[in-house]
Structure 1
Amino acid sequence: MKEFTMKYAHTNIAARDWKALAAFYCTVFNCRIKQPERSYSGEWLDRGTGLSEARLEGAHLLLPGFDDNGPTLEIFTYAEMVETADSMANHRGYTHIAFEVDDVRTVYDKALKEGGIPLGKVTEKPVPGIGTLIFVYFKDPEGNIIEILSWNRE
């Protein structure tokens, strides 16, 4: 059997306002927009997504800790959006993205100041043989769940 080269490419967030949500991630997590910004429509997009008359705009964000060729966070706004129920950490399927940070409390405070929505409380948990995990879950301004975490290593 032939071996195939694979690598993780991106995660997408469908946003009500891609520019405002991208600004949140750039401000809080030091992401950067990877040019060019995107504006897509046409039969090829409908065929690939399974939608009809899809139109979208958005951008890929370069993630902290990776170079310009690393995985991205793709944030798009579709001309027609379908609303869904608010997600919670225990919903089936994809539930959150996570960022490892130096100081959970400082980044959490910054996220809330920039429009983040609290879910949990900053929590510390000793993990034998590894160190102490410090983490918290919250939502971005559009309700997508984010975990931030750090480790105090033993």
Structure 2
Amino acid sequence: MLRYVHTNIIAKDSKKVIGFYKEVFQCKSIGQTRDLKGEWLDRLTGVKNAHIIGEHLCLPGYKDGYPTLEIFSYDEMRVSIRKEINQSGFAHLAFEVDNVKEMLQRIKDAGGGQIGEVVTTKFEDGRSAEFVYATDPEGNIVELQCWSKKSEYKAAK
């Protein structure tokens, strides 16, 4: 068997970040909260006396509880540099929304931020899309996108 299961965010304040994704993106709890510690976790993470708390949230648009967004906090956190869109490694989460500007405002109202501008572009297949990069309250990058359908694009000409 092969299936995608989850994406993990390590948060300074997991309760705050969990609340943000529930409020803004309507992620739902699947009843999988975690309070993990023990020798097995130390071996798995390579962190001595590791203690992780957090929760799995079902992403919008999916059933059966998967895939999830796993939001955890460690008791002892390492400080890192600010995340940037062109930094190597994990870059962002993307959500398709009905209205980019309205969702961006919801993000800002919930303590998130904005990177760059809201842009609209047309593609060779006749569709257009509006995009913006935003951030959650801890600076994790979130892409918002709203796609037109070919027929909507042609009818709007």
TMscore range, shorter length = over 0.9
Structure 1: distance between partners of 2:5 and 2:23:
22
Structure 1: distance between partners of 2:65 and 2:24:
21
Q: Which residue of 2 aligns with 1:149?
A: 145
Structure 1: distance between partners of 2:93 and 2:49:
29
Structure 2: distance between partners of 1:61 and 1:111:
18
Overall identity of the aligned pairs, in %: 42
Structure 1: distance between partners of 2:128 and 2:29:
33
Task: Describe the SS at the equivalent of 1:8.
Answer: coil
| Count of residue correspondences | 150
Letter of the 1:113 partner, please give it: D
Matches within 5 A, 1:70-89: 70-89=66-85
**Shift of the alpha carbon at 1:68?**
2.7
Matching of residue 20 in structure 1 with residue 16 in structure 2: yes
Letter of the 2:121 partner, please give it: K
Task: Describe the SS at the equivalent of 1:141.
Answer: coil
- Give 2:124's match in structure 1, choosing from 128, 137, 145: 128
**Shift of the alpha carbon at 1:70?**
1.5
Q: CA RMSD in A?
A: 0.9
Q: Is the 8 A contact 2:30 2:65 kept in 1?
A: no
Letter of the 1:106 partner, please give it: E
TM (normalized to structure 1)?
Answer: 0.94
Matching of residue 92 in structure 1 with residue 88 in structure 2: yes
Structure 2: distance between partners of 1:34 and 1:57:
15
**Shift of the alpha carbon at 1:48?**
1.3
**Shift of the alpha carbon at 1:46?**
0.9
Matching of residue 112 in structure 1 with residue 108 in structure 2: yes
**Shift of the alpha carbon at 1:122?**
1.1
Letter of the 1:6 partner, please give it: L
Change (3 A) 1:123 1:47: same
Task: Describe the SS at the equivalent of 1:82.
Answer: coil
Matches within 5 A, 1:25-36: 25-36=21-32
| Runs of 4+ with >4 A deviation | none
Q: Which runs of 5+ in 1 are unaligned?
A: none
Matching of residue 45 in structure 1 with residue 41 in structure 2: yes
Structure 2: distance between partners of 1:52 and 1:94:
25
Structure 1: distance between partners of 2:38 and 2:126:
50
Higher helix share: 2
Task: Describe the SS at the equivalent of 1:59.
Answer: strand
Structure 1: distance between partners of 2:2 and 2:36:
25
Q: Which runs of 5+ in 2 are unaligned?
A: 151-157
